[in-house]
Structures are given as structure tokens and as C-alpha cells.
Amino acid sequence: MSYLEEIQVKNLDYLGIVAGLIDEIGIVKIINNKLGIDVREKISAGTVVKSILINGLGFVLRPLYLFSQFFQDKAIEKLLGERIKPDYLNDDKIGRVMDELYKYGLNDIFIEVVLEVIKQFKIDLKYSHLDSTSFHLDGEYKREEDKEKQEEEKIIKERPIFIKKGYSRDHRPDLKQCVLDLITSQDGDIPLFVRVGDGNESDKAVFGKVLVEFKKQIKFDSIMVCDSALYGQENLQLIQHLKWITRVPMTIKKAKELVQNIEVEEVKDEGKEKRSDLNLESYTWKEEIVTYGGIKQTWLIVLSEKRQKSDLEKLEKQLSQEEKKSQKFLKEIQSEEFEHPQAARYKLKAINKKLRLLEIKEVELIETYSKKKEKIYKMISLIIKKNEEISRKTKEAGKFILATNLVEENKLEASEILITYKNQQSTERGFRFLKDPLFFTDSFFVEKPERIETMLFLMSLCLLIYNLGQRELINCLKRVKKGINNQVGKVTLRSTLRWIFQCFQGIHYVILNGVKQIVNLTEERRFILSLLPASCQRYYL
């Protein structure tokens, strides 16, 4: 045997951290308990799922049909087990496991993982945030739709999703899509509930049902936070037994009246000094008790100085653009010859539909003759401002309304309502993660809707693992009061896990004459490992 044959060098990098987080949660054990273990198989379903999650967090943009290639240069025996070979992870095996996951029930598995995370890592569930996004998909995804049957089925249903066109958050209305509803904790942005819906699904139609289903599964007294899609009489009746904070849509008559007529002022117990401490110095507000949809609520009318400035700048820009546009329309209609007065007025009406802040008004309709001696009509008109509309938009600038049903018992401070709603970015951060081009969203090559749902389930598990790791890292940095260098060399107590992944590039698993060792484990990397769960450390130390 040659000297070269006695040396094996495999990449470990940061994948040991990912594998350790998976182990710490106990995902492999949960999957194997659910799907069972066949002693004839070379690799269990739980280990296959672990390999998918490691690949998903590998940020290499490899679709699943190149899955085994991902592990060719990796320390697979260290990450997945001594007897595991890359060719065990072929597309047939992965496909079978995905089908088994779907058949068992993706929601049941996800909830069990979440409950384990909540218990083990003591996740604070005082607030939970709900939002939705869409994923556009390539391919046909043909599936006959029984409309009568679909109407009978519940929105929260046990059937494959329909891949179809709908309102696209990705601004790709030309493509079919599916919808993902996500509930996250305010503490660490941990995914608590995931649901995949039809491509043409409306948030207003399902958000209330999603929250009810979530509370059945996660029996914790959490205050639910959502955007204005939740706020409607039907949804409010549906969730009246839950605690919630949401935004009031400005399409509601009472909301329009309040933002037009009320003078927003800071309440006495929320002075400037306190607002500054809470990073709310640019906000003022006023509370009103309102009954809507039969539910007594606190409405918080908020004025944001920054948003007001932005809205007024947009209004001025819109007015300037409409002035230019209306000048062209004015020239056009005054130069045109009409056969009948009705034709001129019809043209004027069509033009005014294109304007929001200005209006072209008829001054006089002149009867005259064309060069061919035919009777024609010409319109003399002028541009006027819609002062009422401009005044309305000026008064509304920077204002929005938040509502909560916590009126008397468990009443919240106004500042807490505002801060909590601002943390609605919790779910938006999750969506940015799932749609990152370096993530495996491009793996949406699978042809069956069932596989699409399973893929989003696996992607959501990746988000859970990543956010949990980042939460643990930040909490430990705060506890030891010692920071680490970020990308620009500054010491920080709030490092991202992705930066830690970068720091761990270049760690190798080496077997030399049968002796196994980890190389390139510097003191800085050892310190970072000390901040992470023990299961992560075992892959390196």
C-alpha cells in the first residue's frame, strides 16, 4: 500500500455544527420513531432526513438529484455514521422517504419536533407571529380539480395542494405557485407552525383558521401577532377566544374616520425619555376603545415621524408625476375633434379614471366645423387639484392603527403593543432565509404536489435548526459577556450563524494510518464551539 493510500482527507467545515444541532433536537430519533426502522435497509429514514437537512444548510445550490455528490468530499462517516456511504443517498431512497413523511403527516412530525425544541431550549412563547409568502414553481403540475369537493373540504385540509396561479409575492404572476403560512416565536424567530396552501389561496380566508389550528396543536397561552389580513369580522369571531394583536386595514370606515379626525399625541405615562429607552422616540400614539365585529378592542392610532416624512415625499412625487401626465392628457383632449358631445365627455371620463390627485374639468364644449365642413365639437378644459383627496392623504401620512382584544384583563402597555407588532419581521426574516438563492429552493424540480409540501416541510426544519443555533449562540455570548469578531473585524455579541459557518471553513477530518483526527481547529474556533450545544462540540473535540 502506498503512502497516499494511507491518508484520507475529508471536509468537515461547519457541517458538524449543523449535525450537532440536529442531534441536540433529536430529529433522527423522532423520524425513526414515526416511520419505523427496517433492519434490512442500509440507512434509516431519520438519517436520510438528517442528510437532507445538512445538504439544505450546505448553501451550495445543488438539487436533490446531485445529492450523493454533495457528500463525496465530506466526512460522511463522521456526520451520518461509520457505515454510511454516499451512494446510499440516491434519489430513489430520498424519494421514498419523502413519500413516507407525507403519508405519515408532515404537520404531526413538525409539531413533535417543535414541542421538543420548546421544552429543551425553553423558548419564550408570550408572542407568536403569523405571516405568509408564495413560492413560484416551474413545470406543469397538472391535477384535475373537483370544485364541488374542494368547496366541501376545510381550508385546513388533508389533501395535496393545488399548484396554480395566484397573488405572487415574488412578482411572478405568470408562474404557478404554492403558499406557505409560517408562525414563528418572537424569541429567536423559531418556526412553531408551518402550513402549505394552494397557489390561489387568500390570507384573509385562511389566517383565522390557521391560528385556531395552531392553538389546537401548541397548547400555550401565546398572544398571536398578524398583519391586516387577519382583521375581518369573520376572522375576529373565529379567534375571539384567542389573544391577538393585528393591524387594522384602512378600508374600514371607522379606521378612515379616526386617522382623518384624531390628533395623535403621546399618552401621559409614555414620556419622551421612556420612548427613547424603547427606541420609539419617532412614534406618538393615542388609544381608543372600539367595538368591531362584536369584539371589544383597544385601537392604537400611531403616528411615525419617519413614515410620515416618507409618505409626504411620495405624495409630492405622485402629484408632480400626475401634473406632467395631466398636461399631456389636456393637450390631447383639447386638440381632438369629436362627432358628438357625448364622445368628448366619455373621453374625459376615461382620462380622469387614470388620475388620482388631479382632475381635468370641462369648461366649455364648442360647436364648430372641420376642414371638410362637417359639424364637430372641441372641448376647452382645465386641470384642477382634488383638494379633498390630497388633504385626506396628507392627514393619513405616517399613521396606522393597531388593534388588540386585550382590553381589560391582561391589558398591554401601548408601547408593548407597538414594539411587538414591529417584531412582525420575525416571519419575514424566515421567508428571506427560505428564498435565499444559496438555499435549496431550486430543488423544486419534483413533479408531485405532495413532494412540494414535503420539500417545504424539510426547508422549514432547516430554518428551525439555523435560527435555534443562532439563538443559542447569541444567548451564550450575552451570558459570557465576551464577543467575537464579525466580518469587518469588530467585536460583536450578536453574530449571525452564517458568519460562524464562514469561520469554520477549512476544518478537515483526516485519517492517517488508521488514526482519525480533526485538523485546523484554532483557539477561536474552540471558543465558538464552547458557546454551542454539547452535541455540536462532539463532532470536533
List, for the chain, all residue ranges whose pLDDT scores fall below the cut of 50.
Answer: 1, 144-157
pLDDT at residue number 151: 45
Q: Would you say 403 and 300 are in contact if contact means Cβ atoms under 8 Å apart?
A: yes
Q: Would you say 298 and 403 are in contact if contact means Cβ atoms under 8 Å apart?
A: yes
Tell me the three cell numbers of residue 281: 422616540
pLDDT at residue number 247: 96
pLDDT at residue number 23: 97
pLDDT at residue number 524: 92
Which tens digits make up the pLDDT trace of 517-536? 999 999 999 999 999 999 99
- From residue 32, alpha-carbon distances to 43, 248, 270, 297, 399 in Å are 11, 45, 53, 46, 52
Q: What is the DSSP letter of 296?
A: E
pLDDT at residue number 529: 95
**Dihedral over alpha carbons 22, 26, 28, 32 (to 10 degrees):** -170
Q: Please tell me the pTM assigned to this model.
A: 0.86
pLDDT at residue number 220: 79
pLDDT at residue number 218: 82
If we measure between CA atoms, which residue out of 222, 163, 225, 197 comes closest to residue 426? 225
pLDDT at residue number 140: 65
Q: How many C-beta atoms lie closer than 10 Å to residue 100's C-beta?
A: 16
Which tens digits make up the pLDDT trace of 14-61? 999 999 999 999 999 999 999 999 888 899 999 999 999 998 898 766
